Structure 1
């Protein structure tokens, strides 16, 4: 009797602790998203201002997808909402995030280094914003990335050879930026790459032969002689 009671007691404690942890985790996600909301200076139709509220469950917010298993935010899609602002470091606390899509807005400055914490991330899409600086170095730390869309921003400098660390990468869009220098030969190490688009930059030099050896490649666009319009 005493032993059975002890087992039941510890089981109840475990369940309570698990539920508390779950609440704390989704609270962390909520705090991260509210921080993002606070860094948005303007948006069309006040969508997020009226919808992203602590008075409603995070998983019901517009643009948010949650995992039923873990009760954590797994996808953030606020594309094409005419949002203006910056991306706060708090977004790196969305530790279960698999897909991040903030494309076709007017976010600017740099992408924060804290996004390196998003180790489950498979897709990042920041197409058509106003991000500046070098291609983010943290991308090479996100080893589960499959799809990277950085087109139509103001990224400058060289294409980092460290992108070859993302060995599962399938799609890489870097066109319509201000990238310069040569295409790193290490890009040819991305054995699962199917689409590589580098056109409309300020690239120079020869195309590395290693790129033509990627057997999975379906679309390859370079045009190193064409400057950004």
Structure 2
């Protein structure tokens, strides 16, 4: 029994070592995982009248050739997903957080609905996130503050409720923040006014309350004053 146990351990060690020293194999496996994740998103689609994904997102074609999918030439992994201005109806599956090389996610003006999954915070490379003009509901996950590389965050024109997370002050790379036209309430967190790279801040058409500090732009050198 001990010999069998040691043989299993040795096999596992050699398999891991082989993958580490063969980047092509690791890349292939990683891209296969990306494909599996996107196919899972496809199963969540409840309406695709134009058959955008039905005829294109198939396991018989390379994932990097799929509509709306861009792969990084360096890592050969899915780096951008653009399903904006489509007639797709769906929710965002938590598994989307597995796209670990994703830099841009654009679902602008589609028919996505439901809550924003906390797993989006696992997309640590993400720089651009636009969910504008959908029907997302629920609160804004505080975990989005973990996306420290984020430069653009657009959650406007949805049905999001609750407060703006105070943790958003951690997004020190953020340049554009649009959260207008939702159902947000409560006070605007002062931490937002410490984002030194912020250029645009749009909060109108919500149910926000409280007062703003007189020196609210003092730490925002790039914002239009």
**Aligned twin of 2:6:** none
Deviation at 1:167, TM superposition (A): 0.7
Structure 1, unmatched stretches of 5+, are: 1-12, 220-229
Question: Are 1:151 and 1:175, in contact at CA under 8 Å, matched by a contact in 2?
Answer: yes
Find the residue that maps to 2:55 and give its secondary structure. helix
Please tell me whether residue 89 in structure 1 is matched to residue 80 in structure 2.
no
Deviation at 1:63, TM superposition (A): 0.4
**Is the deviation greater in 200-209 or in 13-22?**
13-22
**Aligned twin of 2:84:** 79
Please tell me whether residue 177 in structure 1 is matched to residue 210 in structure 2.
no
What RMSD, in angstroms, separates the aligned Cα atoms of the two structures?
Answer: 1.5
Question: Are 2:130 and 2:155, in contact at CA under 8 Å, matched by a contact in 1?
Answer: yes
Aligned with 1:139 (options 140, 144, 166): 144
- Give deviations 1:191-222, integer Å, cap 9, x for gaps: 10000000000111112334321111027xxx
Scaled by the length of structure 2, the TM-score of the pair is 0.88
2-side partners of 1:156 and 1:210: how far apart?
A: 27
Question: Are 1:188 and 1:208, in contact at CA under 8 Å, matched by a contact in 2?
Answer: no
Please tell me whether residue 51 in structure 1 is matched to residue 52 in structure 2.
no
Aligned with 1:191 (options 196, 199, 224): 196
Question: Are 2:137 and 2:160, in contact at CA under 8 Å, matched by a contact in 1?
Answer: yes
Aligned with 1:215 (options 206, 216, 221): 221
Question: Are 2:181 and 2:206, in contact at CA under 8 Å, matched by a contact in 1?
Answer: yes
Aligned pairs (5 A) from 1:103-182: 103-182=108-187
Query: What count of residue pairs does the alignment treat as equivalent?
Result: 207
4+ residue segments displaced more than 3 Å:
13-16
Question: Are 1:39 and 1:86, in contact at CA under 8 Å, matched by a contact in 2?
Answer: yes
Question: Are 1:140 and 1:163, in contact at CA under 8 Å, matched by a contact in 2?
Answer: yes
Deviation at 1:37, TM superposition (A): 0.6
Question: Are 1:78 and 1:101, in contact at CA under 8 Å, matched by a contact in 2?
Answer: yes
Q: Mark the CA change 1:204 to 1:15 in structure 2 (over 3 Å): closer, same or farther.
A: closer
**Aligned twin of 1:202:** 207
Find the residue that maps to 1:207 and give its secondary structure. coil
Scaled by the length of structure 1, the TM-score of the pair is 0.87
Question: Are 2:102 and 2:126, in contact at CA under 8 Å, matched by a contact in 1?
Answer: yes
**Aligned twin of 1:27:** 32
**Is the deviation greater in 126-135 or in 209-218?**
209-218
**Aligned twin of 2:41:** 36
Find the residue that maps to 1:155 and give its secondary structure. strand
